[in-house]
Amino acid sequence: MKKREIFLPFSPPLIGEEEIKEVVATLRTDWITTGPKTKDFEKQFASYVQGPGALALNSCTAALHTALVTLGIGAGDEVISTPMTFVASANVVEYAGARPVLVDVCSDTLNIDPAKVEAAITPKTRAIIPVHYSGHPADMDPIHALAAKHKLTVIEDAAHAVPAKYKGRFIGSGPNPVAFSFYATKNMTTAEGGMLTASPEFLEQARVVSLHGMNRDAWKRYQPGGNWKYDVVTPGFKYNMTDIQASLGLWQLKKLQSFQARRREIVAQYQRAFGDSPALEIPVLRPEVEHAWHLYVLRLRAEALKIERDQFIEELTARKIGTSVHFIPVHLHSFYRNKYGLKERDFPVTFDNYLRMLSLPLNPRMTDQDVADVIEAVLDIVTQNRR
């Protein structure tokens, strides 16, 4: 095969002149921190996902933590989540002083397995954090049913899930807390940033938690006719989004539909190219969902190859193809392993799939030639290392 001359990065952002001009315009105004553009971004995002309201924050991690604190979750409480996620999903539970309880995933979607959730519920359980892994929505109906039965709150980790749908409804359209990420690698970006959707009543409390616990934020205090007096009603956090970030987000949101169309085109090419290979397991798409395709996670079939995942990645790197692994499961990190006495095979579906997964480049900056190069490189490695 002909080798690429330029390295193909795994997931660079796609920032246009519109975003750049909007940021520059913001820098020329009186508001560069949380102000009118952040408020506009909140309204437009809530409208896009058809949600009841939105609160712009500086990360998805902040959104998850804010939701937990708003619910009053703390010491002695338990929160159920999945080991197949970035560690932030568990870290926020630790921040709150509660205990993360991990539940294994479904073998097809790699989302939390609702059939295993109920067995993990105890009198101490307060919430469930399903993660919409790679952009494929978790099976939410049975999760909500369990939450209603046991009087729990569902806090969705939707870091990958803009703009996914479950049974025709956008993730984030319901009244429960849902946390989104706008990190640089995500389907839309504000560089760093996140959003929390929920009912207006919940967001009213969450907004106080997210900004030092003050009952009035700067946007209200410094408006014409505003009053300098404020009260701190809880020891909150500094989690607000800036108007500079929101300037990016406003345009990224406008472009999201075209971004997604390109992602789907790339995925379709990957699926056709890899679907018949006995050495490769391609991502699934359950019929009741609309996948956000944040990640394209390929799984190797060890019985068909003479090399393992890590060497496969090295071979792709040698062919100038950037990849990643999503994720090192929570229970394999030393903090969680040591604190809770967790072992590799405590979650066998998660562990077995982790050993054979890699994420291929998937972003709207990719050209048809980039896609062809990825496909050719993957199939060439398979051919050279077939058992």
Mean local confidence (pLDDT), 224-231: 80
Over residues 107-126, the pLDDT tens digits come to: 999 999 999 999 999 999 99
3-state secondary structure of 289: strand
In which band, very low, low, confident or very high, does the pLDDT at 2 lie, cut at 50, 70 and 90? confident
Q: What is the pLDDT of residue 229?
A: 83
Mean predicted lDDT score pLDDT of the chain: 96
Residue ranges matching CATH 3.90.1150.10 in the chain: 256-384
In which band, very low, low, confident or very high, does the pLDDT at 70 lie, cut at 50, 70 and 90? very high
3-state secondary structure of 160: coil
- In this prediction, what percent of the chain has a pLDDT beyond 70? 98
How far is C-alpha 158 from the chain's CA centre? 5
CA distance 333 to 32: 38
Q: What is the pLDDT of residue 218?
A: 58
Mean local confidence (pLDDT), 139-157: 98
Over residues 14-30, the pLDDT tens digits come to: 999 999 999 999 999 98
Residue ranges matching CATH 3.40.640.10 in the chain: 17-253
Q: Is the pLDDT at 217 greater than 80, yes or no?
A: no
Mean local confidence (pLDDT), 228-253: 95
Over residues 72-111, the pLDDT tens digits come to: 999 999 999 999 999 999 999 999 999 999 999 999 999 9
Mean local confidence (pLDDT), 315-335: 98
Q: Spell 177-215 as b/e; 16+ CB within 10 A means b.
A: bbbbbbbebbbbbbebbbbbbbeeebbebbbbbbbbbbe
CA distance 360 to 322: 7
In which band, very low, low, confident or very high, does the pLDDT at 226 lie, cut at 50, 70 and 90? confident
Q: What is the pLDDT of residue 222?
A: 67
Q: What is the pLDDT of residue 221?
A: 66
From edge to edge, which strands make up the β-sheet containing 289-290? Answer: 169-170, 165-166, 289-290
User: What is the value of pTM for the model shown?
Assistant: 0.97
CATH number belonging to domain 256-384 = 3.90.1150.10
DSSP 346: G
Q: What is the pLDDT of residue 82?
A: 98
Q: What is the pLDDT of residue 272?
A: 98
Give the catalytic positions in this structure: 186
CATH class of the domain whose range is 17-253: alpha beta
